[in-house]
Amino acid sequence: MKHIVGVADMKISCSSGDVLVTHALGSCLGLAVHDPVAVVGGLLHIMLPQASIAPEKAQSNPFMFVDSGVPVFFRQLYAAGAVKPRCVVSVAGGSNIGGGDNDRFAIGKRNYIMLRKLLWQNGVLVKAEDVGGTAPRTMYLEVGTGRTWLNTAGQERPLQ
């Protein structure tokens, strides 16, 4: 069964028949985490790097920001049975939609930098990533197998 993850949201599944998908990863980041032993998978769609720019929004929805959303996401994965050393992490998005010098605030790049900082702090390494560029991405995670793949401009490719 396919479950769509919206912007500033996340979903976790323990059903091996589920596919998690999130669309329109432009400057946003998609973070897929999978525990192949417990068969637990989660997909997070984050918009902005730091909760400090809008703490009240982070309170009501931590998944809007990298630094508030990613820790909550991992805690909920562990609560669902995922074990940290087994988790396989994939990242996609962080692009500069529109390209050129229009991206004055470089949100995509900042999201990615903030995520890398957080993962390094917490001793989490990334298995696969597809970030940057100028095109939006759709990201998929197949919970039963951990397979992740992307769709960009109608072209599918594995994330590995």
Q: Which two tokens stand for residue 91?
A: 């990242």
Q: How far apart are CA 136 and CA 98, in angstroms?
A: 10
Choice between 56 and 101, CB closer to another protein? 101
- Whole-number minimum distance, CB 118 to another protein, in Å? 9
Q: What are the φ and ψ backbone dihedral angles of 85, each rounded to 5 degrees? A: -60, -20
Nearer to another protein, 121 or 155 (CB): 121
CB of 148 to another protein, least distance (A): 16
CB of 123 to another protein, least distance (A): 4
What is the spatial distance between Cα 156 and Cα 59, in angstroms, rounded to a whole number? Answer: 36
Q: Which is nearer to another protein, 14 or 119 (CB)?
A: 119
In whole angstroms, the minimum distance from the beta carbon of 127 to another protein comes to 8
- Centre a 10 Å sphere on the Cβ of residue 78 and count the other Cβ atoms it contains: 15
Burial of residue 155 (CB within 10 Å: 0-12, 13-18, 19+) is exposed
Site residues (CB under 8 A) for another protein? 85, 101, 104, 106, 109-110, 113-114, 116-117, 120-121, 123-126
